[in-house]
Copies of this chain bind each other. A is one copy, B any other.
């Protein structure tokens, strides 16, 4: 198995509502407006929004109904950018679960929760390099 992910699918209650949230953050998809699955090209991977019930069935799992042990992170190039993304997300309807602050690992981050309960850490990590295309190198 090659060392990579192709797709991260977020199960959501209402695909149109979820799409509006990510579009309010500036993301764009070519999916039709009434599409029941929305794919976003996210660098070299794809992020999908799909019915959480359908995703559970397709994944062969029972839905625990809450958070299930997966957190996404979006790394940015400065502390100011962490603040800006969190502010933009709050206006778009996210809950700020952890306000931006210095972290124990020497960076600066905060956490937001999207309208479907999916958390994102927004982080500036001075130890990691972000390429011009947004890719991360350890």
Please give the residue numbers on chain A whose beta carbons come within 8 Å of chain B beta carbons, in ascending order. 1-12, 25-28, 30, 39-47, 52, 55-56, 58-76, 85, 88-89, 97-98, 111, 113, 116-119, 121, 123, 128, 130-131, 133-138
Of residues A9, A68, A137, which shows the largest number of chain B Cβ atoms within 10 Å of its Cβ?
A68
Q: Which of B39, B59, B70, B123 contacts A8 (CB 8 A)?
A: B70
Q: List 16 A-B contacts (CB under 8 A).
A: A1-B25, A1-B88, A2-B26, A3-B42, A4-B134, A6-B75, A8-B8, A10-B70, A11-B70, A30-B138, A43-B45, A52-B69, A61-B67, A61-B71, A63-B66, A64-B66
Q: What residues on B are CB-neighbors of A121 within 8 Å?
A: 7, 58-59
Question: Are B71's CB and A9's CB within 8 A?
Answer: yes
A113 pairs with B61, CB closer than 8 A = yes
- Copies of chain A in the complex: 2
Task: Summarize A's interface: helix, strand, loop or mixed.
Answer: mixed
Scoring A58, A67, A72 by chain B CB atoms within 10 A of each residue's CB, the highest score goes to A67
Which of B26, B46, B60, B73 lies in contact with A7, CB distance below 8 A? B73
Contact across chains for B45 and A7 when beta carbons are under 8 A apart: no
Chain B residues with CB below 8 A from A30, complex form: 138
